[in-house]
Amino acid sequence: MVNRAAGVVLAVVFLIKRFEKVIYRNN
């Protein structure tokens, strides 16, 4: 379960970073 939770957290962080980069580029 710990590995699965860590994977979910990393996926969320990756999506947030990518989303922020897209917003930064648009602005």
| SS (HEC) of 1-27 | CHHHHHHHHHHHHHHHHHHHHHHHHHC
C-alpha 27/C-alpha 22 separation (Å) is 9
Q: Where do the domains of the chain lie?
A: 1-27
pLDDT at 26: 76
Give the Å distances, CA to CA, from 8 to 2, 17, 24, 27: 10, 14, 24, 29
pLDDT at 15: 96
C-alpha 8/C-alpha 14 separation (Å) is 10
Q: Structure pTM? A: 0.57
Intervals of the chain under pLDDT 70: 1, 27
